[in-house]
């Protein structure tokens, strides 16, 4: 094989052969191809795309670059969920124990936040002692003990993706549906789950705000999952407004526990229960997942999981020493609360990162004291900004310019679950 021929094939709009794909993935993973040559191929894929069968082979080659977990010893059906990321999206913290309480084991491979979108691992790391980096043996143990585990990808699962993602991140080749889909699905298939539900966000706070592109990504990932023997469906869900009221790591843990205790914001519960129903349906289990919030079984599973991963579920979470309200400039109805603006403000307050290595604050974030549809009065606090130092407030306030829409009439209600694919 000649890497120049591989690059030219895709540059000129051709289909890479199965042999070319497998050779390239293996060679780049094992450092036999230079980064600049791999970057050239990635850019060619961004411009030329990939055929479905070509993408299947590409994903399989990434999957085959590492180990694939075998969860058969758990003795239960298994299901997972993946979200494309949003603002205030703490669904995983509620969903994993909820589904586990219904008798389906949940091995949830999760990630960290970058930019305006939050990361599940950053949220849980606000809990003293909790660990995301688990060995394969620890993943099996926590899953057998608690019925659910939320963990970071180690070096053994799809190592090709780790190398390619790092390269995409610095070469302007992230925004490609084939590359996004293969990155997500190679890791999710490698974790060995029987079923997978994809939560593909749509709206201002989503990675792909455009509904047509979000649908294309969902359809591509569903096809990849099913082609690799994982029962896969997707829900397109709304991310025009932050989900729930809390955006920020420790704040979102607190809100998640509130939901597990039978309370919590209605929009967050609606999306979580819809995803739980989809997971249980794929796993062949017919029970009401919402009942686990009222009978305490989901909360019990959450506490087991946190303890099994070294955390203290009763520990006091960090509290931001500095707080500042953002008030309504006029009276009327809150018509809009832009999710992306809230996410950027949360990031600037210290809860997010620009680079993967950046530290994040456990206590920083934004509390949404009102949501679209609420009647508000001039001077009423609509948001509460939380930070570790007051110097962060001005930049956060700049991000919020134009984010709050107040009008004389309430907005038309927006559906939270827009579409099912699969």
State how far the alpha carbon of 35 is from the alpha carbons of 24, 71, 163, in Å. Answer: 12, 35, 10
91 close to 268: Cβ distance less than 8 angstroms? yes
Residue 56's alpha-carbon distances to 186, 199, 226, 228, 312, in angstroms, are 10, 21, 10, 8, 42
Q: How many CB atoms lie within 10 A of CB 9?
A: 17
SS (H, E, C) 290-321: CHHHHCCHHHHHHHHHHHHCCCCCCCCCCCCC
H or E segment at 322? strand 322-327
Distance of alpha carbon 379 from alpha carbon 64, whole angstroms: 58
Q: Judge whether 414 and 238 are in contact, CB under 8 Å.
A: yes
Query: Got the DSSP string for 60-86?
Result: HHHHTTS-----GGG-S-BEEEEE---
Tokens of residue 152, six digits: 């970071």
From residue 358, alpha-carbon distances to 341, 352, 361 in Å are 21, 8, 10
Residue 277 falls in which region: left (phi positive, over 0), alpha (psi -120 to 50) or beta: alpha
State the Cα–Cα distance between residues 298 and 290, nearest whole angstrom: 9
First to last CA, the chain: 37
The dihedrals phi and psi of 328, each to the nearest 5 degrees, come to: -70, 135
Backbone dihedral angles phi then psi of residue 168, each to the nearest 5 degrees: -60, -35
Catalytic residues: 80-83, 120, 168, 183, 187-188
The residue count for the chain: 422
């Amino acid at each position: 094989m000649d890497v120049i021929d591989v690059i030219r094939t895709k540059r000129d709009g051709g289909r890479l052969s199965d042999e070319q794909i497998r050779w390239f993935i293996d060679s780049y993973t094992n450092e036999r191809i230079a980064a600049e040559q791999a970057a050239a191929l990635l850019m060619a894929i961004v411009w030329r795309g990939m055929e479905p069968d070509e993408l299947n082979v590409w994903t399989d080659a990434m999957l085959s670059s590492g180990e694939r977990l075998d969860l058969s010893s758990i003795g239960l059906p298994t299901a997972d969920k993946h979200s494309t990321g949003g603002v205030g999206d703490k669904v995983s913290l509620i969903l994993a124990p909820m589904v586990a309480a219904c008798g389906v084991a949940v091995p949830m491979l999760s990630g960290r936040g970058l930019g305006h979108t939050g990361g599940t691992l950053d949220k849980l790391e606000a809990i003293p002692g909790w660990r995301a980096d688990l060995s394969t043996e620890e993943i099996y143990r926590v899953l057998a003990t608690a019925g659910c585990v939320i963990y970071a990808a180690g070096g053994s699962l799809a190592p090709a993706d780790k190398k390619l993602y790092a390269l995409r991140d610095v070469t302007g080749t992230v925004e490609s549906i084939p590359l996004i889909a293969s990155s997500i699905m190679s890791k999710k298939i490698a974790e060995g789950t029987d079923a997978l539900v994809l939560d593909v966000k749509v709206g201002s706070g989503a990675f792909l705000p455009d509904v047509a592109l979000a649908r294309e990504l969902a359809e591509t990932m569903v096809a990849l999952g099913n082609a690799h023997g994982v029962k896969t469906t997707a829900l397109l869900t709304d991310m025009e407004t932050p989900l729930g009221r809390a955006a920020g790591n420790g704040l979102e843990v607190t809100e998640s526990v509130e939901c597990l205790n039978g309370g919590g914001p209605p929009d967050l519960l609606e999306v979580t229960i819809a995803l739980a129903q989809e997971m249980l349906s794929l796993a062949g289990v017919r029970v009401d997942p919402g009942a686990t919030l009222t009978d305490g079984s989901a909360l019990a599973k959450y506490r087991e999981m946190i303890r099994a991963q070294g955390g203290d579920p009763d520990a006091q979470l960090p509290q931001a020493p500095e707080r500042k309200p953002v008030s309504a400039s006029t009276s009327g109805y809150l018509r809009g609360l832009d999710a992306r603006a809230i996410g950027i403000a949360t990031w600037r307050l210290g809860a997010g990162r620009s680079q993967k290595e950046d530290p994040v604050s456990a206590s920083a974030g934004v509390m949404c004291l009102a949501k679209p549809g609420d009647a508000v009065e001039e001077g009423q606090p609509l948001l509460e900004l939380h930070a570790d130092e007051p110097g962060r407030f001005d930049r956060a306030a700049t991000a919020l310019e134009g984010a709050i829409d107040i009008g004389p009439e309430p907005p038309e209600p927006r559906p939270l679950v827009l579409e099912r694919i699969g």
